[in-house]
Amino acid sequence: MQSEVEVLDVLLRRSDCDSLAWADGGDAEDASALLQSLSNQQWTELVTIRAKRNASWRACLVSVLQPSHGRVAQRLLLDSASDQDAEVAFLAARSISFYCGVNASAQGPFIDFKIRNRSFLSQAKETAGLVDQVRKVDSLCAPEFQRQFELLEAVLEARA
């Protein structure tokens, strides 16, 4: 019988986070449920496996990481903002932005205290180099994402 980490690894290896099969009601929900069930030891195992996986695998993982999955998940999400792959870094920055309370509408980005995870925001503010990494991602994005990331930068620098 496979462990949750092995099942998750197989799921992430065969997935594409840009596909409909990954989206709502698909493999992303299965991956998120598996992450929720991991023990501390299994999170350590996942971190080790992550270092050996390709960008597509890492992108899928980042797209489902949530602060509610625990401290290791939070650290993985924050560290992924500096991933060597631009898509992984972008997905991480988008998630970080959301969990730090930066939301978007047709009128542009705004602070949304209802979605803000205070403990995650605190950890994000303490993460050395995170603002610089967000700026790198920001420089590669379309204007609508640039505005969102600029607001995140302000939040992380405690100006908002």
- Angstrom distance (rounded) from CA 148 to CA 137: 11
Judge whether 73 lies within some domain: no
In which domain, by residue range, is 104 found? 80-160
Phi and psi at residue 116, to the nearest 5°:
-65, 130
SS3 12: helix
Judge whether 12 lies within some domain: yes
Instruction: Indicate if 98 and 55 belong to the same structural domain.
Output: no
- Angstrom distance (rounded) from CA 70 to CA 37: 11
Judge whether 72 lies within some domain: no
pLDDT digits (tens, 9 = 90+) for 83-134: 999 999 999 999 999 999 999 999 999 999 999 999 999 999 999 999 999 9
Judge whether 69 lies within some domain: no
Strands (E), the chain: 102-105, 108-111
Helices 40-50 and 71-80: crossing angle, nearest 10°?
A: 20
pTM of the model: 0.93
Instruction: Indicate if 52 and 101 belong to the same structural domain.
Output: no
